Amino acid sequence: MTFVVDMFFSFRSPYSYLALTKTRKMVNSYNVVVRLRPVYPIAVRIPNFFKTASPNFAKYVYLDSTRVALHDGIPFRLPRPDPIVQDMTTLEVAVDQPYIHRLTRLCAAAQAEGRSLEFAEAIAPVLWDGSTDGWNEGDHLARAASRAGFDLKNLDAAITADSERYEAIIATNEKDHAASEHWGVPTFAFQGEPFFGQDRIDHLIWRLQGKGMTKRV
């Protein structure tokens, strides 16, 4: 029997990126399918979020994600540029969001093909692993996508031709994310139970094993 888990994911979330390694290990080791479902980051979903959050929030996320990456041996650096357009002095989030809209819609297109986990695994490191400045320029994303079997030009054409279709996929993902009873990413959801954060994957595996999940032969 193969178990199915939803993974709500954002390209701006360091923890979403850091969760990919453990998620792939789980999928390779156990009879489980992870349906990665892209959502917009909380700064876009709730534009005033960082204005009302503790000023220590962002500082701690950076400190902790850097520590997790170092502990787990995952290359890590904040993306250059930030995938959302935000004034970090005023914390004002711009209405026009060309980077995160494109990334999230592209991943929604990959979700429609049933390969969104593979897409995120290909693209997220270009932003987060520290090897690429100007990840949004040139052919950085196209080459990464190609290595995973995606034609980025065709995906871009699809989302340009019918952006409403992919916005609808994202909206459904966000609705189901909220229904999982958590708001952060990454959130894994299984049978109505949320597991928030890359540090809850072991607990997710434990729950799945309790339901009868077995290792792959």
Query: Would 217 be classed as within a structural domain?
Result: no
Query: Would 216 be classed as within a structural domain?
Result: no
Q: How many domains does the chain have?
A: 1
Examine the pLDDT at 9 and tell me if it is beyond 90.
Answer: yes
Instruction: Report CA torsion sign: 155, 156, 159, 161.
Output: negative
pLDDT (tens digit per residue) in 94-151: 999 999 999 999 999 999 999 999 999 999 999 999 999 999 999 999 999 999 999 9
Confidence category of residue 48, pLDDT binned at 50, 70, 90: confident
Domain that holds residue 20: 3-210
Question: Minimum mean pLDDT among 19-33, 37-51, 127-141, 193-207: which range?
Answer: 37-51
Examine the pLDDT at 37 and tell me if it is beyond 90.
Answer: yes
pLDDT (tens digit per residue) in 148-189: 999 999 999 999 999 999 999 999 999 999 999 999 999 999
Query: Would 76 be classed as within a structural domain?
Result: yes
Q: How far apart are CA 88 and CA 15, in angstroms?
A: 20
Q: How far apart are CA 15 and CA 11, in angstroms?
A: 10
Picking from 5, 9, 4, 33, the residue whose alpha carbon sits closest to that of residue 197 is: 9
Query: Would 206 be classed as within a structural domain?
Result: yes
Confidence category of residue 23, pLDDT binned at 50, 70, 90: very high
Query: Would 21 be classed as within a structural domain?
Result: yes
Q: What is the CATH number of the domain that holds 125?
A: 3.40.30.10
Query: Would 215 be classed as within a structural domain?
Result: no
Query: Would 184 be classed as within a structural domain?
Result: yes
